[in-house]
């Protein structure tokens, strides 16, 4: 009985994409998703690390709800806010951060502060952040991430030296902070938005100024 020979298998041809536009659109979508995930993974920190270095609740991105539980519920953890951040200041909590919301964004203003570019508010796909025009005047009127607080026991100007770095770094000088002779900073509660520029540039170690998130939340509830 003769052996039955099977015809050789032919390699399957890959189907070409329906159009160049569809191919490019798919590639852009994958790049955007990949970039968001990369930013989310590269800028995460554990809740325990935050607790060790900070005594106050986390500073959230501009226009986050005053009730942090509502912000956590509205945030879908897409990471897009971090991809468009002008100063790269938006970080994300790690998977162990159940108290502050795993993978939710926050700002560590001691390391890098907010420049009030408002890009994060415009790319947010949910109501976790409310869109604000990309200009300083709009930001100063609609943003209240916290209020800066000066520690006079650490501030160089209160210890007999002339400093003023906090005033010079502030994007809203004389509206958010002013200097009393001799160069002693005074934070203006109604004008400070809690961007943390003063905190980042304070030369004192440990820093002599920090953002009080609780005061910012009270301010947002009062103006809402």
Calculate mean pLDDT across residues 115-138. Answer: 95
Question: How many residues comprise the chain?
Answer: 224
Beta sheet of 44-45, edge-to-edge order? 44-45, 90-93, 105-107
- Angle CA(73)–CA(93)–CA(71) in degrees, nearest 5? 20
Domain spans of the chain? 28-142, 144-224
Q: What is the mean pLDDT of the chain?
A: 82
Instruction: Tell me the C-alpha distance between 201 and 147, whole Å.
Output: 16
pLDDT for 23 beyond 90? no
pLDDT tens per residue across span 9-20:
554 444 444 454
pLDDT tens per residue across span 105-117:
999 999 999 999 9
Map tokens 């920190």 to a residue. Answer: 45
pLDDT for 170 beyond 80? yes
Three-state SS at 123 = helix
pLDDT for 80 beyond 90? yes
Calculate mean pLDDT across residues 70-95. Answer: 96
Residue 8: which pLDDT band, with cuts at 50, 70 and 90? low
Residue 98 dihedral angles phi and psi, to the nearest 5°: -75, -35
Tokens of 122: 């415009």
- Which of 30-39, 75-84, 159-168, 185-194 bottoms out in mean pLDDT, i.e. has the lowest? 30-39
Residue 98: which pLDDT band, with cuts at 50, 70 and 90? confident
pLDDT for 72 beyond 60? yes
pLDDT for 26 beyond 60? no
Its CATH class, for the domain covering 144-224, is alpha beta
- Which of 14-28, 115-129, 172-186, 200-214 bottoms out in mean pLDDT, i.e. has the lowest? 14-28
Task: Please state the pTM of the whole predicted model.
Answer: 0.74
β-pair type (90-93, 44-45): parallel
Tell me, what's the pLDDT at 46? 57
Tokens of 134: 């990309």
For the chain, percent of residues with pLDDT exceeding 70: 71
Residue 177 dihedral angles phi and psi, to the nearest 5°: -155, 145
Residue 102: which of 131, 73, 63 has the closest Cα? 73
Residue 116 φ/ψ region, left for φ over 0, alpha for ψ in the -120 to 50 degree band, beta for the rest: left
Tokens of 65: 């709800």
Distances (CA, A) of 189 to 33, 36, 141: 39, 35, 13
Calculate mean pLDDT across residues 150-170. Answer: 96
Other Cβ atoms within 10 Å of 94 Cβ, number: 17
């Amino acid at each position: 009985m003769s052996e039955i020979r099977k015809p050789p298998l032919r390699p399957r041809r890959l189907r070409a994409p329906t159009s160049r536009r569809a191919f490019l659109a798919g590639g852009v979508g994958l790049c955007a998703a990949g970039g968001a995930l990369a930013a989310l993974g590269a800028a995460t920190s554990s809740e325990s690390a935050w607790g060790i270095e900070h005594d106050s609740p986390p500073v959230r991105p501009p226009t986050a709800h005053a009730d942090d539980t509502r912000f956590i519920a509205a945030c879908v953890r897409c990471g897009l806010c971090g991809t468009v951040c002008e100063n790269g200041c938006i970080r994300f909590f790690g998977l162990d951060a159940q108290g502050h919301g795993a993978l939710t964004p926050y700002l560590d203003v001691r390391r890098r502060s907010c420049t009030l570019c408002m890009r994060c508010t415009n790319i947010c796909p949910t109501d976790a952040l409310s869109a604000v025009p990309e200009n300083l005047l709009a930001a100063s009127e609609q943003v209240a991430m916290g209020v800066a607080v000066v520690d006079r026991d650490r501030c160089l100007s209160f210890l007999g030296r002339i400093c003023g770095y906090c005033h010079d770094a502030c994007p809203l000088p004389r509206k958010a902070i002013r200097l009393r002779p001799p160069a002693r900073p005074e934070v203006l509660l109604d004008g400070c938005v809690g961007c943390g520029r003063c905190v980042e540039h304070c030369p004192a170690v440990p820093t002599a100024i920090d953002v009080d998130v609780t005061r910012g939340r009270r301010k947002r509830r009062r103006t809402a």
